[in-house]
Homo-oligomer: A and B are copies of this chain.
Amino acid sequence: MDTKEEWNHFIETSDTEEQEAIKLFLTSLKAKRENKNLTHIASLLQIKTKRIDDYTLEMEMPNSPLLDNSIGIVHGGLTATLLDTAMGTMASLVPGNKRGAVTVELKVDFINPGVGEKFICRAHVIHNGRQLVRMEGKVSNENGIVIASASGTFFKLSSE
């Protein structure tokens, strides 16, 4: 049985929740085909980016079955992934940085349960040093409830 047959068989026998995941995977694959720079995980999480100013950036992630942990709230690791992605992207874009930045360390404080229709992460530069970028981030849902806040240190690749 080849991949196509296997997929067809799985789709035919799928329940509602599985159908939702199947559609999400296809949407994610198509988005990545359109934009090769997108990572699989950013595509799966359907993350959208909005630049606010020179030192601030927002990323938005809709809730989906992919985000669930075992007790029906957003998996803390995916909240951390959203924070790391937004903070790291902003750190890569600070004025004077040309070659990106890698995460040195990240501390995430989980404040309220991760429930909501979408999650908005605001990443802001605290200090743009010669080699280190110090960042803060905050994840809220569509009602403004704070889900998590974070601090992180990023190392500019251009300085290596």
Contact B10 A69 (CB under 8 A): no
The reply to whether the CB of A49 lies closer than 8 angstroms to some CB of chain B is no
Provide the bound-state CA to CA distance between A104 and B160, in Å: 18
Shortest Cβ gap from A98 to chain B (Å):
14
Contact partners of A132 in chain B: CB under 8 A: 104, 155
Contact A39 B75 (CB under 8 A): yes
Q: Which A residues from 45 to 81 make CB contacts under 8 A with B? A: 65-71, 75-78, 80-81
Contact B126 A146 (CB under 8 A): yes
The interface on chain A, measured as residues whose beta carbon lies within 8 A of the other chain's beta carbons, has a size of: 69
Shortest Cβ gap from A76 to chain B (Å):
4
Contact A3 B22 (CB under 8 A): yes
Contact partners of A111 in chain B: CB under 8 A: 126-127, 134
Contact partners of A16 in chain B: CB under 8 A: none
Provide the bound-state CA to CA distance between A106 and B102, in Å: 18
